[in-house]
Chains A and B, each alone.
Chain A
Amino acid sequence: MKLKTSLRSALLAATMIPLGLAAQAEEITIAIGHQSMCTDTYTAGIVIKELGLLEKHLPTDGKYADAEYDISWADYSSGGPITNQMLANKLNFGVMGDYPLIVNGAKFQETDSLRTVYVAGTGYNLKGSGNAIVVPVESDIYSIDQLQGKEVSTPVGSAAWGMLLKAMQDNDIPTSEYVLKNQSPAVGAANIAAGKIDAHSDFCPWSEIMEYRGTGRKIYDGSETGVPYLHGVVVRQDFAEEYPEVVQAFIKAVYEAGEWIREDPMRAVTEMESWTGVEKEVLYLYFSKGGHLTLEPSIKTEWIDALKFNHGVLVAEKAIPPLDFDAWITEDYLKAAYADMGVDYEVDKAKMVDPEVANEGLPMEIWHSRDGISTYGTAAEFLKGMADIRATAALVNATYVYDVESGLKLFGKTAFWVKAGDDFATFLRKGEAEAYASANAGQVVTFDDAIAAYATDG
């Protein structure tokens, strides 16, 4: 009897297994490839990850009522491996800069059955700041035309590489007249510090890391190319079609990450330093008011034009496959996400922040190691503030000023200072500083000399 009961129980249990499986919740795997060493990807990467913003926005009703999400983040030092992992379907989302984005789209379109879609931006600099060419701090090179016959390294395939090619073309320096070397950011930065390379072109925030650490000096800023510098999010098309609401949730998280940074940049950079290892003073140059980066995910017509231009550069240099931009770029997910959030997408899309205009009149800043950031409306006040701090031997983390020509935010210590009468002006490049000095009967002085002018004796 006991045996019969046990047998019946076992059979009943066996028949229930399929029912149990049917009732089991669907597990949705969301794998994201991001870059913790590329500032412009943070709002679609490290910030969302650390603040749990994706979890907050993921759908939980309708077909997702019983869904269980398995979210994973993988950190990469460049966009190329993210594309490879997306091809293997180990990543659904990828966050990267403009050139790697194009390679991603083209590589997928080269396959028979796989595609990605470009669903959102993360941030931009209208003029192209973020990329830059840096020389060793002791170098006697001050402008790009001095790079003729020199060795210049860059991570080939990156946005910085594209910028370098464009910059050289703009300055009539053919590739035969300089030696181009392929070096990763870390290797390039190490070689600049050791003076082993004449110049290194890199993407955000490597140039500023070198400047902040006192090993490198910027001679060319990406803004001089006039081509916008942007980053964005690509998703595997099969994933996006199966879970469109998850893609929308990701875009809402990108939007909220931008809001979180704007709300309190100091808090944001301090947190981001602990997450990424990049110095907060460097991050402040990007994420503070007047910083290099405008955080906004819309896809503007100008961005598509810039991506097409970049694709042309790659076609000429590396013969990458063609890319059907119309099939690749979609605003559908952005529009749906914005509508859900009650934000007017067209208003955001129409906005365009030009640092030259937007940063005019912004105060200079001193980051006191104990008291935090102080702002100064004029150069005289700023220099007096620095002189006072130095008189007390207090520590300063960093100082920030603006380039008169481009409106670009700079470290005070790396800017070229011009004293003309009682006024001071700050410049990114030596040539423009000297031109301003001769036009205004002034002279180029060092940062220390400028501060010394306001030091009180005793």
Chain B
Amino acid sequence: MRNVTDVEMAKEVTLMEVVKTLGHAVRLDWRRMVVTGLTFALLMQVLMMIALMVRFQGLPNYAVGYDWIGNVIHIIKSTPSWGDIMPIVNQEWLIEIGKMNYDYGTGISEWSLNVVPVRIMVLFVLGALVALCLSLLRTDQCDVATGTTLRATTGLGTVLIAMTNATMSWVVCCAAPSWVVGLAMLGLGVSTSLALESMGPALNLAGFGLLLCTAHYLAWRKTRNPQHLSGSLKHA
């Protein structure tokens, strides 16, 4: 009797069936996904703040809150093209916490964490996706090597998205928050970091691509092997 390869099995599983499996997994685990998503988004802000304080050996000495909703409404009202609205809204801050240097003039912000709601949403989706992948992995009966590869892929996707959604600013690096500040803080040359800045959206997409592919692959494996779907809809 011949062994059936994954590729051959793939021909027998339709995309709709995979989507159904994913939907089933989401219905089964949506609470965990929401909690993980929220935790991930908030934890990232805390981690960035800690990273700034450790790197610059100081505590923040100022915090400013912004009327994010009001600002977004204002931008939508005053920007004629929808194509222009999103890139501008993406940069809107909710909170700014940082260290102000008062040695010169009226003060210059040396470093800060900028809480950007659009990025929080992205991080929430990231957390939820990671929870979904881990949930699918938990019930998958794959061998150790495949499991490790899938976990590594999930990890890589997570790192890419988290890294490109960092919202720290450092005057030495740039005047506005940028994901490359994290790289510069880690010791990568500022010029090199800035040269990488334009790659941010591509890396972000690559990260989501990896996570979605992992989730899709795991759902496909479950679909071709239905006994894995024996769990009950505890939270449905």
Q: Are A89 and B104 in contact (CB under 8 A)?
A: no
A269-308: contact bitstring with B at CB < 8 Å (1 yes, 0 no)?
0000000111000000000000000000000000000000
* B-chain residues with CB within 8 Å of residue A238 when the two chains form the complex: 78
Residues of B within 8 Å of A, CB-based: how many? 29
* B-chain residues with CB within 8 Å of residue A189 when the two chains form the complex: 103-104
* B-chain residues with CB within 8 Å of residue A185 when the two chains form the complex: 104, 108
Q: Are B80 and A113 in contact (CB under 8 A)?
A: yes
* B106 CB contact (under 8 Å) in A89, A180, A187, A277: A277
B63-79: contact bitstring with A at CB < 8 Å (1 yes, 0 no)?
00000000100110011
B188-216: contact bitstring with A at CB < 8 Å (1 yes, 0 no)?
00110010000000000000000000000
* B-chain residues with CB within 8 Å of residue A157 when the two chains form the complex: 175
* A-chain residues with CB within 8 Å of residue B101 when the two chains form the complex: 186, 190
A81 to B112: give the CA distance in the assembly, Å. Answer: 14
Q: A87-B88, A111-B81 are in contact. Are A276 and B105 (CB under 8 A)?
A: yes
Q: Are A36 and B84 in contact (CB under 8 A)?
A: no
Tell yes or no: B140 within 8 A of A by CB.
no
A180 to B172: give the CA distance in the assembly, Å. Answer: 12
Interface-facing stretch out of A11-19, A72-80, A245-253: A72-80
A157 to B191: give the CA distance in the assembly, Å. Answer: 12
Would you give the shortest CB distance from B162 to chain A, in whole angstroms? Answer: 23
Tell yes or no: A209 within 8 A of B by CB.
yes
Q: A112-B84, A113-B79, A189-B104 are in contact. Are A90 and B74 (CB under 8 A)?
A: yes
A184 to B84: give the CA distance in the assembly, Å. Answer: 29
Q: A88-B75, A90-B74 are in contact. Are A80 and B81 (CB under 8 A)?
A: no
Q: Are A209 and B104 in contact (CB under 8 A)?
A: yes
Tell yes or no: A84 within 8 A of B by CB.
yes
A95-136: contact bitstring with B at CB < 8 Å (1 yes, 0 no)?
000000000000000011110000000000000000000000
Q: Are A277 and B104 in contact (CB under 8 A)?
A: yes
Smallest CB-CB separation from A181: which chain B residue?
A: B190
Tell yes or no: B29 within 8 A of A by CB.
no
Q: Are A182 and B191 in contact (CB under 8 A)?
A: yes
A71 to B84: give the CA distance in the assembly, Å. Answer: 26
Tell yes or no: A37 within 8 A of B by CB.
yes
Tell yes or no: B41 within 8 A of A by CB.
no
Tell yes or no: A375 within 8 A of B by CB.
no
Smallest CB-CB separation from A111: which chain B residue?
A: B84
A453 to B103: give the CA distance in the assembly, Å. Answer: 37
Q: Are A84 and B108 in contact (CB under 8 A)?
A: no
Q: Are A186 and B103 in contact (CB under 8 A)?
A: yes
Q: Are A78 and B175 in contact (CB under 8 A)?
A: yes
Q: Are A114 and B172 in contact (CB under 8 A)?
A: no
Tell yes or no: A362 within 8 A of B by CB.
no
* A-chain residues with CB within 8 Å of residue B171 when the two chains form the complex: 77, 183-184, 186-187
A209 to B190: give the CA distance in the assembly, Å. Answer: 25
Tell yes or no: B126 within 8 A of A by CB.
no
* A186 CB contact (under 8 Å) in B78, B81, B91, B104: B104
Tell yes or no: B135 within 8 A of A by CB.
no
Q: Are B71 and A88 in contact (CB under 8 A)?
A: yes
A167 to B191: give the CA distance in the assembly, Å. Answer: 19
A146-157: contact bitstring with B at CB < 8 Å (1 yes, 0 no)?
000000000011
Smallest CB-CB separation from B101: which chain A residue?
A: A186
* A-chain residues with CB within 8 Å of residue B108 when the two chains form the complex: 37, 77, 184-186
A-B residue pairs in contact (CB < 8 Å), sample of 24: A75-B106, A77-B109, A77-B171, A88-B75, A88-B88, A88-B91, A90-B71, A112-B81, A112-B84, A113-B79, A156-B190, A156-B191, A156-B194, A157-B175, A181-B172, A182-B174, A182-B191, A182-B194, A184-B110, A190-B101, A238-B78, A276-B105, A276-B106, A277-B105
**Chain A residues with a Cβ under 8 A of chain B:** 36-37, 75, 77-78, 80-81, 84, 87-90, 111-114, 156-157, 180-187, 189-190, 209, 238, 276-278
